[in-house]
Amino acid sequence: MLSVRRCYHYFVYLVYRVEAFLNEKNIVTDCLNKIEEKTRIKKRYLALGAAGVIGAYLLFGHGASLLCNLIGFVYPAYYSPDKEDDTQWLTYWVIYGFFSVGEFFSDIFLHSFPFYHVCKCLFLLWCMAPVSWNGSQILYRYTVRPLFLKHEARVDEMVGDISGKAMSAAENVTREGTQHKSCFKTPFFSRVFFLPVHLIIK
């Protein structure tokens, strides 16, 4: 009984947050307000219909992967500059980065599952949900952060090795570029290279 009551409270809170979002002034609500003025349909029903169309497209449409990635990227990118929620969005981007790396290596297997893009979209929405139990906070607190702290020394060592190799490669490239540049300035090269030009001019 307690779990049902808690779920009901979560549902009411989500409805409240959606209503608050629809009453904010942003690009989405501006478009919905214009459509509401022309069609006389309340924007809450327009938003619900748009969500249904997006869900159907994710199930049966072509290019569902692009749409899913846009949903997981555009909204957080729009709200990330907000200083009040910078910690929440930074946590979201960490989880999004981990998920993208994992998806890259398991792309062949994951895309063969039915309703994969719908599940991915729901997962990303859960990670960006404006609630205390959203996915990014839970995954970061109980998975990413403990894993990073466990292997922190090894990660620092790998980063140091990569930085050292990158610096060595940059120094080698700079040294070779300096040698080639000095080669162009030698008198022998100048005589050999410009001799045909002088002959043609004469």
Residues 57 and 67 in one domain: no
How many folded domains does the chain comprise? Answer: 3
Mean pLDDT confidence for 91-114: 83
Residues 172 and 146 in one domain: no
Is the pLDDT higher at 97 or at 83? 97
Mean pLDDT confidence for 44-57: 83
Task: Read off the pLDDT of residues 114-145 as tens digits, 9 standing for 90 and up.
Answer: 788 888 888 998 898 877 778 898 999 898 88
What is the pTM assigned to this prediction? Answer: 0.62
Residues 110 and 93 in one domain: yes
DSSP letter, residue 83: G
- Per-residue confidence at 84, pLDDT binned at 50, 70, 90? low
Residues 12 and 86 in one domain: no
For the chain, give the longest Cα–Cα distance: 102
Neighbours of 33 (CB within 10 A): 14
Residues 144 and 69 in one domain: yes
Task: Read off the pLDDT of residues 158-171 as tens digits, 9 standing for 90 and up.
Answer: 877 787 778 888 78
- Per-residue confidence at 82, pLDDT binned at 50, 70, 90? low
Residue 28, exposed/middle/buried by CB under 10 A (0-12, 13-18, 19+)? middle
Asked if pLDDT for residue 187 goes beyond 60, the answer is: no
Give alpha helix (H) positions in 24-133.
27-39, 43-60, 64-79, 86-105, 107-110, 116-128
Residues 73 and 55 in one domain: no
Residues 106 and 67 in one domain: yes
- Residue 60 confidence (pLDDT): 80
Query: What is the CA angle 109-76-28, rounded to 5?
Result: 110
Mean pLDDT estimate for the chain: 76
Residue where a domain stops, chosen among 61, 85, 110: 61
User: Residue 82's domain spans which residues?
Assistant: 63-150
Residues 177 and 113 in one domain: no
- Residue 183 confidence (pLDDT): 53
Neighbours of 50 (CB within 10 A): 15
